[in-house]
Amino acid sequence: MSRRALYLFAAPALALYGGFFLLPAVQGLRYATTDWDGYSPAFHDVGAANLTAVVSNDDLFRNALTNNLKFLLVVVLGQTALALLLAVLLAARGRGSTWLRALFFLPTVLSSVSVAFIWKFVYDPNFGLANAVLDAAGLDRFESSYLGDESTAILWVAVAQIWFHAGQMMIVYIAGINQIPEELYDAARTDGAGRWQQFRHVTWPMVAPATALVVAYTTLQSFKAFDLILGLAGNPPRSGLDVLATRIYSTFANSQLGYAAAESIVFMAAIAVVTFLQNRAARMAHG
């Protein structure tokens, strides 16, 4: 087969990538320097004014960034820890573990809208499951308005996100754990290592590649948590639940496409910075 024919195979994918990703990305850079509303035939160049405003003079964007970072931190730590714990407990093959793996994986196959609907029911202050359970247990002093509490609302969404995706990450960890040679555990046991020490000195370092994958994927998921938040918080979300993706969408809906494009650029920069820091941290953690 000629080399030219090989390129032809890639052409459809490249055309789609170019048309639906590269071109809009370049257009986005251009729009970010304009005051275009998204529908008028004319617009004005505003230079770097949009980007400057996003970075230095936009409380709503700063609030969304803060919420997003809180959400990211809780989800990455919580989801990674829970997924690893479940994987360690369920890595051994057996009927019970297979059934439990399927059970924990189940939320992953649900749509975000369904998950939002379920957790809306859980968090409703008057008819919801969470307050009903606390009430029944005589712990009504811990009852909350959950999504209505500005300072903690995003953390409650993070709980829903962890429930939604921990099962998926558990499967990644189980695959990683199953790759670890049994001899390493035999050697550790021979040296007198207990279960915790086996985990600390064998499992944890050996699942480093899986951890890197889980953390990277979870980070992206956290930045892109758009439909779950809109499902739980409504559109537009209130300030306690606004994250970068929903903020950009609100700006777009407010007929400020140029400004929304500038917000998107800062959004991409934030993802790049967080990913870079994570890679550095992962390298340091695993020597």
Nearer residue to other proteins within complex by CB, 72 or 248: 248
Instruction: Give the C-alpha separation, 239 to 64, whole Å.
Output: 7
CB neighbourhood size of 250 (10 A): 18
Is 39 one of the binding residues for other proteins (CB under 8 A)? yes
Q: How far is the CB of 3 from other proteins (least distance, A)?
A: 22
Q: Which member of 55, 124, 213, 265 binds other proteins (CB under 8 A)?
A: 124
Q: Cα-flanking dihedrals φ and ψ of residue 45, to 5°?
A: -75, 135
CB neighbourhood size of 79 (10 A): 27
Q: How far is the CB of 126 from other proteins (least distance, A)?
A: 6
Q: Which of residues 210-239 bind other proteins (CB under 8 A)?
A: 234-239
Q: How far is the CB of 239 from other proteins (least distance, A)?
A: 6
Is 145 one of the binding residues for other proteins (CB under 8 A)? yes
Q: How far is the CB of 183 from other proteins (least distance, A)?
A: 45
Q: How many residues bind other proteins (CB under 8 A)?
A: 38
Instruction: Give the C-alpha separation, 282 to 285, whole Å.
Output: 5
Nearer residue to other proteins within complex by CB, 61 or 104: 61
Q: Which member of 73, 149, 159, 198 binds other proteins (CB under 8 A)?
A: 149
Q: How far is the CB of 192 from other proteins (least distance, A)?
A: 52
Which residue is listed with tokens 């340091």?
284
Nearer residue to other proteins within complex by CB, 249 or 267: 249
Is 125 one of the binding residues for other proteins (CB under 8 A)? yes
- The vertex-72 CA angle with 89 and 224, nearest 5°, equals 105
Q: How far is the CB of 58 from other proteins (least distance, A)?
A: 6
Instruction: Give the C-alpha separation, 3 to 138, whole Å.
Output: 73
Q: How far is the CB of 261 from other proteins (least distance, A)?
A: 15
Q: What is the DSSP string of 156-169?
A: HHHHHHHHHHHHHH
Is 127 one of the binding residues for other proteins (CB under 8 A)? yes
| 8 Å CB contact between 162 and 225 | no
Is 255 one of the binding residues for other proteins (CB under 8 A)? yes
| 8 Å CB contact between 156 and 130 | no
Closest CA to 270 of 248, 250, 286, 239: 248
Is 40 one of the binding residues for other proteins (CB under 8 A)? yes
Closest CA to 230 of 262, 214, 253: 253
Is 58 one of the binding residues for other proteins (CB under 8 A)? yes
Q: Catalog residues that contact other proteins under the rule CB under 8 A.
A: 37-40, 53, 57-60, 120, 123-127, 131, 143-150, 153, 234-239, 249-255
